[in-house]
């Protein structure tokens, strides 16, 4: 078995399965299945579903996933075909420009090659804090999101980066194309969690009704509208890192990312001619700001629909870099 998660809880819970549901944003049935399969341990002891958890208890979750069994014979060939730009590298970390349509790390439901496969195949030294399936991964990007991603090479660096994420001295600036212009620059704050009506989606939730919902905050800034006024290029700053956060926050404004077939209403889906146009453009920490080149399909869309986007986007990103430097993030 391989270690999938290892964490310690900050307060007590009356039941283990409800704790896993809240902390990991999974269904109660999924949590029960893991427990019944003896994949969950509390302080290294196999756990029971109705176990009462005390503050400070450490939970280990394992998986029987075996990469060599799951991947077909073409795995190595597929990995070799991956072209991933190195933005910056030193002895402690590597920053990559993740391409769209690539999963970051393995999970029990993932059968395809991942970014961690690529890193291991290329013999990178990686941190082990997050278990064997998530070697080096400090933060994640959705499969359909491209852009800057940070990978830790050792455990000391990983712990430092995790602290930065916690106190928000590390962050990302995204760019995306939306279906309708924002009325003005704005912030969105809400509690988020798994959509109770669709397990594939996240949603804005009432914390009182859904205790597992977690706080989230994003800043949205206008960059420029398309030549026909149909689309808008915007910048987004995350103050938290919830799954699908940008997509959920935009949906509260009745805005949707071009190409997002999961969150967009049916009348928009049929008009999409590309994948989701969401890119993690900037990654900042330790007084540095790193930039990821825009993927070809997004560049093509901008060239076809926006006038003089290069200079306006460059000025926008420069202004945000200056603000970040001034705030001494």
DSSP per residue over 195-259, as a string? -TT-TT-EEE--TTT-TT-EEEEEEEEEEEE-TTSS-EEEEEEESS--TTHHHHHHHHTT--BTT
Cβ neighbours of residue 77 under 8 Å, at least 6 residues apart? Answer: none
Q: Is 215 a residue of the active site?
A: no
Cβ neighbours of residue 280 under 8 Å, at least 6 residues apart? Answer: 98, 141, 145, 146, 147, 148, 149, 172, 173, 174, 292
SS3 content of the chain, % helix, strand, coil (to 5): 30, 30, 45
Cβ atoms of 44 and 63 closer than 8 Å: no
Give, in order, the Cα–Cα distances in Å from 68 to each of 1, 51, 90, 109, 111. Answer: 13, 34, 30, 15, 11
* Distance separating alpha carbons of residues 288 and 86, to the nearest angstrom: 16
Which listed residue (142, 144, 215, 260) is catalytic? 142
H/E segment holding residue 112: none
Q: Which residues make beta-bridge pairs with 215?
A: 191
Give, in order, the Cα–Cα distances in Å from 108 to each of 1, 4, 62, 236. Answer: 12, 9, 10, 31
* Distance separating alpha carbons of residues 250 and 164, to the nearest angstrom: 26
Which among 326, 148, 320, 294 is positioned nearest to 237, based on CA atoms?
320
* Distance separating alpha carbons of residues 328 and 172, to the nearest angstrom: 15
Is the C-alpha dihedral spanning 121, 95, 200, 255 positive or negative?
Answer: negative
Cβ atoms of 232 and 242 closer than 8 Å: no
Q: Cite the active site residues.
A: 142
């Amino acid at each position: 078995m391989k270690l999938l998660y290892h964490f310690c809880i900050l307060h007590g819970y009356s039941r283990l399965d409800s704790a896993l549901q809240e902390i990991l944003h999974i269904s109660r049935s999924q949590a029960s299945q893991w427990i019944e399969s003896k994949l969950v341990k509390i302080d290294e002891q196999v756990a029971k579903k109705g176990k009462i958890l005390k503050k400070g208890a450490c939970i280990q979750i394992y998986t029987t996933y075996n990469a060599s069994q799951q991947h077909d014979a073409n795995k190595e060939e597929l990995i070799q075909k991956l072209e991933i730009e190195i933005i910056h590298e030193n002895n402690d970390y590597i920053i990559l420009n993740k391409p769209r349509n690539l999963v970051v790390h393995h999970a029990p439901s993932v059968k395809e090659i991942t970014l961690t496969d690529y890193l291991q195949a290329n013999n990178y030294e990686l941190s082990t804090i997050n278990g064997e399936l998530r070697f080096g991964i400090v933060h994640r990007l959705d499969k359909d999101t491209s852009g800057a991603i940070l990978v830790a090479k050792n455990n000391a660096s990983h712990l430092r980066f995790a602290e930065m994420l916690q106190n928000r001295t590390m962050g990302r600036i995204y760019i995306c194309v939306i279906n309708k212009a924002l009325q003005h620059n704005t912030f969105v704050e809400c509690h988020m969690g798994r959509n109770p009506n669709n397990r594939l989606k996240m949603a804005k939730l009432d914390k009182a009704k859904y205790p597992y919902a977690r706080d989230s905050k994003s800043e949205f800034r206008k960059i420029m509208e398309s030549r026909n006024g149909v689309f808008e290029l915007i910048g987004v700053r995350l103050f938290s890192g919830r799954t699908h956060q940008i997509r959920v926050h935009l949906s509260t404004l009745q805005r949707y990312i071009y190409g997002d077939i999961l969150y967009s209403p049916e009348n928009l889906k049929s008009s999409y001619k590309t994948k989701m146009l969401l890119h993690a453009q900037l990654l900042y920490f330790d007084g540095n700001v790193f930039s990821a080149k825009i993927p070809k399909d997004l560049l093509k869309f901008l060239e076809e629909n926006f006038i003089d986007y290069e200079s306006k986007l460059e000025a926008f990103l420069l202004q945000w870099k200056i603000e970040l430097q001034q705030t001494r993030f």
